[in-house]
Amino acid sequence: MDEDISIINANTRNEKIKNFFIKNKKKLILAIITITVFLVGYFSLGEYKNKQKINISDDFNSIIIDYSENNKEKTVQDLIKLINKKDSSYSPLSLYFIIDNKLIDEKNKINELFDVIIDEISLDDEIRNLNIYKKALYNADDSTEADLLNILNPIIRSESIWKSHALYLMAEYFYSKNEMQKSREFFTQIINLNEANQEIKLESRKRLNRDLSE
């Protein structure tokens, strides 16, 4: 008797499952198609991005290898194209090459390219902060206090590993302007910063003891 009831229950369950699939056949087929398209699209996108990365890498290496004084203008144009591709690795490297080799004289243009990297590329937070610091360093010689602070504030107000570098840049900026009180304040912030770069903290102590002691 118990065996007969089990067989009936199993048949009933199978019948319910069968009816469920028949009733929802279109929805199930649509769901399977949707999942399949999503998976194909996901893996295709990943493969496309990998190929794109390889192509950008090849382009960058080719530009750097072919660079000479005779093709400076073409090099600049090609590197700017790479920057505007907004690749997290090779766009910053392209800008660094331009700066290191002094390929563009106009500071406004360099700052525009920095802004592309800082504002328009998906970067790790600390890589973004590094580029903010590099932008400030590039502009430090002829910036006003307000302009330099405006660039560096996102780092100074954060807990970034680049914070002590930003504070040191401001401290040396004020020292060069003979604004000793402001310089002392920034060096002191470095000394009191728990996560400060140790070499920068040591240099700050030397500066305070040697040149800014009251």
Predicted confidence (pLDDT) per residue in 129-172, tens digit:
999 999 999 999 999 999 999 999 999 999 999 999 999 999 99
Map tokens 């302007």 to a residue: 177
More confident residue, 20 or 185: 185
Query: Which range marks the domain in which residue 190 is found?
Result: 149-214
Domain contains 199: yes
Residue 35 confidence class, pLDDT cut points 50, 70, 90: low
Domain contains 188: yes
More confident residue, 24 or 172: 172
Predicted confidence (pLDDT) per residue in 45-55, tens digit:
445 456 777 88
Give CA–CA dist 184/89, Å, rounded: 37
Residue 84 confidence class, pLDDT cut points 50, 70, 90: very high
Average pLDDT of the chain, as a whole number: 84
More confident residue, 88 or 3: 88
Domain contains 165: yes
Give CA–CA dist 167/87, Å, rounded: 29
What is the pLDDT at residue 55? 86
Full-model pTM: 0.75
**pLDDT over 90 at 4, yes or no:** no
- Amino acid letter for position 154: P
DSSP state, residue 158: S
Q: Which of 140, 165, 153, 203 is nearest to 212 (CA)?
A: 203
Q: Which of 179, 171, 168, 131 is nearest to 151 (CA)?
A: 131
What is the pLDDT at residue 213? 72
Residue 28 confidence class, pLDDT cut points 50, 70, 90: very low
Domain contains 181: yes
Domain count, the chain: 1
What is the pLDDT at residue 6? 52
Q: Which helix (DSSP H) or strand (DSSP E) does residue 168 occupy?
A: helix 163-176
Domain contains 201: yes
**pLDDT over 80 at 34, yes or no:** no
Predicted confidence (pLDDT) per residue in 87-135, tens digit:
999 999 999 999 999 999 999 999 999 999 999 999 999 999 999 999 9
